[in-house]
Structures are given as structure tokens and as C-alpha cells.
Amino acid sequence: MLQSEQLDTRLVLAANDKVAAGLLIQRLPLQGEANLAGAGAVASDEDQIGLNEDYNRIAILAASLKREELLELDADTILRRLFWEEDLRRFEPLVGDEGPRFACTCSRERVSSMLRSLGRDEIESIIAEQGQVEVGCDFCGAQYRFDPVDAAQVFLQPHAQPPATPNLQ
Ligand SMILES: [Zn+2]
């Protein structure tokens, strides 16, 4: 976080066989726009890392959170217990279509174009070695398999592809 966002960050995580919970504490950027635009670190933010008293106090309080508390208590209780001396402002969590949900942007088309960028020689040598090309998405766990026919199709022009038949899927 310090290297990519250039912002003081503290992350507390816990999980058991039923629940996974986390608390992320992050100091707001001094000049948010530049940071959000990916323009790189704002010098004043970098200079501030580790020096901001308010942030350090809140980060130390966050780190005092016990595993059981994080797993068993609701957000309001945790916030009250940890930060009862702070001026708290709680925003209503977004739910439904607006709320957070798991999603992955991977697709067979994206994997195909990644294979194209590796080049026909590379793909053919993988096929010769393993009989197929298998690509797993580290984010969502989806597995994409390309048998020799699928792999050959990857290198055909899209409009030159024969209509898909079930036994090629
Ligand atoms: Zn994925």
C-alpha cells in the first residue's frame, strides 16, 4: 500500500470457517485528485507517511482489535469500542445493485487474446508438451481450457472462424 498508493494504511483481517472480516484504515490523501488520477505520489503525502499523529493514533487503536472481536461483533460495536473518543461519521452501507459484490472481468475472450499475445509458437509448444493449454484466473478461480482445436482457433481471424459446434467448447 505504501508503495502503490503512497498512503498510510493499516489492514486487520481475520477468518474462521464461517466468517471472513476485515478492517481497513487509510489516511485520506492530502490532494486526492492527483492520487485518484494515478498521477503518482503527491510529495506532501509521501512526506506525511508515518508522521500524521491522528492517523497513527487511529491505526494503533485499530491494531488493538482482537481476532474474536473482528469475527463476532457488528461494525457499529467495533467502531464504538475502538474509536469512542473520535468524531465518528458512519455512512450507510450500499446494498443491492449499488453495494459491493464479487465480480471478475475475466472471460474466455480475454484469455484468448492473452494467448494470441504469447504467439502461436509458444502455444503450440505448450500443446505439444501438455496436450492442451490451461489458464486459471487467480482472482475468481475460473479455469479456461483450450484443446488443440480451440488453440488453433485462437489464431484465426474472428470472421474466419467456423460456427461453434458443441463438441468444440
Ligand atoms: Zn476471473
pLDDT in tens, 37-67: 555 555 566 566 667 788 889 999 999 999 9
Angstrom distance (rounded) from CA 46 to CA 4:
11
Which pLDDT score is estimated for 169?
40
Note if the pTM is more than 0.85: no
pLDDT confidence bin for 151, thresholds 50/70/90: very high
Tell me the CA–centroid distance for residue 10 and ligand 1, in Å.
Answer: 27
Q: Are 23 and 11 in contact (CB under 8 A)?
A: yes
Q: Are 146 and 154 in contact (CB under 8 A)?
A: yes
Which pLDDT score is estimated for 43?
54
Contacts from 49-54 at CB under 8 Å and sequence distance 24+? 49/2, 49/6, 49/7, 49/8, 50/8, 52/8, 52/27
Q: 99 pLDDT exceeds 70?
A: yes
Alpha helices, H only, 42-166: 43-48, 53-63, 67-72, 75-83, 108-118, 120-130, 148-154
Tell me the CA–centroid distance for residue 142 and ligand 1, in Å.
Answer: 5
Q: Are 13 and 41 in contact (CB under 8 A)?
A: no
Tell me the CA–centroid distance for residue 152 and ligand 1, in Å.
Answer: 23
Tell me the CA–centroid distance for residue 108 and ligand 1, in Å.
Answer: 10
Q: 139 pLDDT exceeds 80?
A: yes
For the chain, domains (ranges, CATH) are 9-87 (no CATH), 108-168 (3.90.1280.10)
Reported as a single tens digit per residue, the pLDDT across 2-31 is 666 667 888 999 999 999 999 999 887 766
Return the residue matching grid coordinates 470472421. Answer: 159
Angstrom distance (rounded) from CA 154 to CA 145:
12
Which pLDDT score is estimated for 22?
94
DSSP classification of residue 162:
P
Angstrom distance (rounded) from CA 39 to CA 76:
35
Range name among 78-87, 91-100, 147-156 with the lowest pLDDT average? 91-100
Q: Are 94 and 45 in contact (CB under 8 A)?
A: no
